[in-house]
Amino acid sequence: MTHSIPQKTAAYLVVGLAALLGLGSQLLFAVFLYAGSPDLLGPRLEGAGTLAWDALLCLAFFLQHSGMTRRSFRRRLARVVPPHYHGVAYTIASGIVLLALLLLWQRAPREVLILHGPVRWAVRAAFFAFIAGIVWSSRSLGSFDTFGFRPVLYRLRGKTLPAPRLIVRGSYRWVRHPIYLFSILMIWSTPDLTADRLLFNTLWTAWILVGALLEERDLTAELGEAYRKYQREVPMLVPLRVYSTGRRR
């Protein structure tokens, strides 16, 4: 299939927007986890009102992020957006909603736990170690398409995406969802646990666990017996044993 210059330009602009929002929101998310909310925008609430507002922001992100990955939503989306754009559309929507959460988040300064001395710096160091774990896990996937670019670029070049298959290597030999595991550990790697941060950590941990279970269902439907065998041999999140073959996901 050939594409006109305006079509190609529009496609690359959409990919560029997805890259900007995806990377920008992820970088700001890391800063948020490390340093806390800038607390510059949003309503000036107090007490329980602050926590209720923050919980609503989390809920909005969870609904968008998880809802757009469901097969039923993608089928409806395909009526108005070509399927090869679904990945970048997801990235753009997720970037916008995540940026809104981070910029509108309200601090509840009541201290729950504040660490000092060597323990504080150990927790700070662990934060960066877990980021490295996320990067390692992403690289373990080989051609992991973080922002959904591949379907669009393959389409522009007249190529067909390879069929999904189960390949296991790197961190995926220890757990089926290492990125989720390292994300949970990174979220909790804070020496300053305030009321709003405790709320954030609890809600996001619960959401990640639910998301992992939903993803398990989708992967089983997509990969069949190969994934069911992988489930039997490798834990979902707690690394209790290692996958013994040379395949990778």
pTM recorded for the entire structure: 0.83
For 202-237, write each residue's pLDDT tens digit: 999 999 999 899 888 888 888 888 889 888 889 988
Closest by CA to 183, choosing from 113, 118, 247, 130, is: 130
Q: How many whole angstroms separate alpha carbon 197 and alpha carbon 132? A: 22
Domain spans of the chain? 5-233
Contact 178, 144 (CB under 8 A): no
For 144-163, write each residue's pLDDT tens digit: 667 777 787 777 776 776 77
Q: What are phi and psi of 104, to 5 degrees?
A: -95, -5
